[in-house]
């Protein structure tokens, strides 16, 4: 029997369990998510879709009646364990040239919780900042 390398107990497979491998079911994530806060100053909408076995995210930033379209990028899906079959979280990275934004999100009971970690690479002097936002379908 081969011992899998691990960083913590949860990396190990449950006894006699076989890793499912393959592609995670992303149904819990895909769709159009709207910020629960109508006055949100951060991300106001997320569109998650699946294409050719990959997960994609398209984010929209708050800007009054005309949100900024950040464009679509590939996202990385995650399950709740090493033997999960359904995705419940994702990460993605936008590089705007002057700003790098990491999206880190998970879905729970029909709500999507999005954390963003924003690093400015220009000389504007703005502080790198964190945000936490909530979305519903």
Partner 1 sequence: MRPELDGAAGPPVTRTADRPARGWAPPTGRPIDIRPLLGAWVNYDETSTGITRIEIGDWQGCPTVRVFGADRPAPIDWGEAAGAAFADGVDTVEAVAFVANYHLDFVTVILAGYLNKRLLVVDAYSAFTDSSRRVDSFKRDHFYLP
Q: In whole angstroms, how close is the CB of 84 to partner 1 at the nearest point?
A: 5
Euclidean distance between CA atoms 31 and 47, whole angstroms: 6
**CA neighbor of 27 nearest in space, from 52, 50, 58:** 50
**CA neighbor of 108 nearest in space, from 136, 75, 76:** 136
Is 82 an interacting residue with respect to partner 1 (CB under 8 A)? yes
DSSP 84: -
Is 47 an interacting residue with respect to partner 1 (CB under 8 A)? no
Is 30 an interacting residue with respect to partner 1 (CB under 8 A)? no
Is 136 an interacting residue with respect to partner 1 (CB under 8 A)? no
Is 117 an interacting residue with respect to partner 1 (CB under 8 A)? yes
Could you tell me where the beta strands, DSSP code E, fall in 1-137? 31-35, 43-51, 54-61, 68-79, 87-95, 99-108, 111-120, 129-136
Place of tokens 């909408």: 45
Is 130 an interacting residue with respect to partner 1 (CB under 8 A)? yes
Which segment (13-21, 26-34, 45-53) binds partner 1 by CB under 8 A?
A: 13-21
Out of 68, 95, 111, 136, the residue judged to bind partner 1 by CB under 8 A? 68
Is 134 an interacting residue with respect to partner 1 (CB under 8 A)? no
Collapsing DSSP states into helix, strand and coil, what is residue 9?
A: helix
| Residue numbers at the binding site for partner 1 (CB under 8 A) | 4-11, 13, 19-21, 24, 41-44, 61-64, 66-70, 76-85, 88-89, 91, 94, 96-99, 101-102, 104, 106, 115, 117-120, 122, 124-132
């Amino acid at each position: 029997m081969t011992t899998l390398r691990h960083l913590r107990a949860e990396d190990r497979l449950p006894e006699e369990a076989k890793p499912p491998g393959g592609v995670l079911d992303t149904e819990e994530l895909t769709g159009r998510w709207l910020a629960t806060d109508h006055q949100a100053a951060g991300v106001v909408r997320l569109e998650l879709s699946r294409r050719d076995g990959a997960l994609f995210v398209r984010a929209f930033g708050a800007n009054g009646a005309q949100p900024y379209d950040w464009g679509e990028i590939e996202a990385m899906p995650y399950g709740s364990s090493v033997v999960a079959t359904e995705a419940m979280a994702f990460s993605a990275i936008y590089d705007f040239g002057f700003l790098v934004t990491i999206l880190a999100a998970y879905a729970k009971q029909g709500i999507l919780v999005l954390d963003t970690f924003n690093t400015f690479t220009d000389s504007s002097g703005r502080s790198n900042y964190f945000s936490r936002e909530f979305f519903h379908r």
